[in-house]
Structure 1
Amino acid sequence: MSDDHKTDPPEQQEASLFEAPPMAEQERMVEAILFATAGPVSISEMMGRMPHGCEPAQALTNLRKRYEGRGVQVVRVGDAWAIRTAPDLGFLMQKETIETRKLSRAAIETLAIVAYHQPVTRAEIEEIRGVSVSRGTVDQLIEMEWIRLGRRRMTPGRPVTFVVTETFLDHFGLESARDLPGVKELRSAGLLDNRPPPGASSDDEKDDSQPPLFEDD
């Protein structure tokens, strides 16, 4: 029998079944996952869907470079990834993405405190606001998936903390809470009145780096 008709040993054939596909194919897989999933997808989730041996982190890096300057971009949202419209083209999607969110003044204040002071307990929220926080206010923000329960504090009573969610970050196009918007961005999103709180100075309005301050209800 000639060498041309020889087959690989069984152990080599078995090993080949576990070889990861080429990186170009892995990029296509990651691209398909991101397009097919409405919400951000973590690297661990991608690894669970892709063949053994794949490197979704490297595929994401390559894919992100490929989409630079395009109409859509590969963006990081917290610990996950998503494909989103390029920021400068967001106006094209305005009619499709407008969503009315009616929040009470208490809910707006609570959301702002959680966003800028997380992780924060209910008692700390009440201390900052100066008034008590109703369960309905917190439940509303949790139902909207803008805040969630964080780790318990290692203090007497072990109170739970609250942090913002990836849904909140995705809504504002943020990679992490460190990139939180200032006063102008919050107003443009409809989360702040267009008028300054009573007694606010013009200097307060100019400082977008500081978290918004609110009057009590």
Structure 2
Amino acid sequence: MSDLSFQPDEAEIERRVEALLFAAAAPLSALDLARRLPEGTDVSAALMALKARYADRGVRLECVADRWRFATAPDLAFLMTDRREEPRRLSKAALETLAIIAYHQPCTRAEIESVRGVSLSRGTLDLLLEMGFVRLRGRRRTPGRPVTYATADRFLEHFGLAGLSDLPGLQDMRAAGLLDFAAPAGFDVPQPGGPDAPEEDPLDPEDLAPEFAQDFVGRDEG
């Protein structure tokens, strides 16, 4: 039985954080951890210490979508003989749509179509919603009150991003050969949810009805 008067030192706090993360069924936020530790515990310091300690091990501590988890070191992925490929693959149209939402969120269907330059199949958005990459965020305060879309935590987890601020910027894209170095003057990569984002209203319960996530996997986009 533990002594409630015992005040753990830094090493003991690290042990407790390590145990909580190891036993958790899903990634934990710093707040989740703080709720299980003595009041006033410096959770961030413990996480940074554990991250450094596991940096060169077979598993490492990583932060995805502001939540922490242990994961296999990327260079040892070849050892995972039990791996399975994702049963569904995103089409070019779906990847383009996902990229537009990631950088322009929150955005409406009309705004997605304006950036792509072509109309968008209803099935593309439904598939992204069903796979958990995209979520319904709100309704724009404009005539017709169109629904807006944003990325979900699954998007960050799938691409290994701690947050939207880690999306590749202009220089990253140029270095990867995704943008021409002769891009027009003043060209820049949009920042998701920037200060100029239009105001929105919360979703109504009926907006989350099942028809928003119907399966259109078998349909082709024109």
Interval containing the TM-score (normalised by the shorter chain): 0.5 to 0.7
2:16 aligned residue (6, 16, 29): 29
**Deviation string, structure 1 residues 174-211 (Cα, Å, up to 9, x no partner):** 223344479xxxxxxxxxxxxxxxxxxxxx9x723589
- Report the residue type matching 2:32 in the other structure: E
1:73 paired to 2:43 = no
Q: What is the distance in 1 between the residues matched to 2:133 and 2:177?
A: 25
1:139 aligned residue (126, 131, 141): 126
Q: What is the distance in 2 between the residues matched to 1:118 and 1:172?
A: 17
Q: Is the 8 A contact 1:19 1:53 kept in 2?
A: no
Change (3 A) 1:61 1:97: farther
1:64 aligned residue (51, 64, 71): 51
Q: What is the distance in 2 between the residues matched to 1:42 and 1:151?
A: 25
Q: CA deviation at 1:134?
A: 4.0
TM-score normalised according to structure 1 size: 0.66
For 1:148, what is the secondary structure of its paired residue?
strand
Q: CA deviation at 1:67?
A: 0.8
1:175 aligned residue (162, 177, 184): 162
Change (3 A) 1:141 1:173: same
TM-score normalised according to structure 2 size: 0.64
**Deviation string, structure 1 residues 77-107 (Cα, Å, up to 9, x no partner):** 1222121122222222264253222334432
Q: Which residue of 2 aligns with 1:150?
A: 137
Q: Is the 8 A contact 1:20 1:53 kept in 2?
A: no
Q: CA deviation at 1:148?
A: 1.7
- Report the residue type matching 1:169 in the other structure: L
- Report the residue type matching 1:207 in the other structure: G
Greater helix proportion: 1
How many residues matched? 176
Q: What is the distance in 1 between the residues matched to 2:81 and 2:151?
A: 24
Q: What is the distance in 2 between the residues matched to 1:114 and 1:20?
A: 47
Q: Which residue of 1 aligns with 2:107?
A: 120
Q: What is the distance in 1 between the residues matched to 2:157 and 2:25?
A: 11
Identical pairs, percent: 52
Change (3 A) 1:96 1:158: same
Q: Is the 8 A contact 1:34 1:40 kept in 2?
A: yes
Structure having the higher Rg: 1
2:178 aligned residue (208, 212, 216): 208
Structure 2: give runs of 5+ residues left out of the alignment: 181-188, 190-220
For 2:80, what is the secondary structure of its paired residue?
helix
For 1:61, what is the secondary structure of its paired residue?
helix
Q: Cα RMSD (Å) of the superposition?
A: 3.2
Change (3 A) 1:18 1:142: farther
Q: What is the distance in 2 between the residues matched to 1:146 and 1:95?
A: 24
For 1:128, what is the secondary structure of its paired residue?
helix
Q: What is the distance in 1 between the residues matched to 2:74 and 2:24?
A: 20
Q: CA deviation at 1:173?
A: 1.9
For 1:75, what is the secondary structure of its paired residue?
strand
The farther-off stretch of 58-67 and 34-43 is 34-43
Change (3 A) 1:161 1:94: farther
Q: Is the 8 A contact 1:21 1:54 kept in 2?
A: no
Change (3 A) 1:136 1:120: same
Q: What is the distance in 1 between the residues matched to 2:106 and 2:131?
A: 18
Q: Is the 8 A contact 1:107 1:138 kept in 2?
A: yes
Q: Which residue of 2 aligns with 1:89?
A: 76
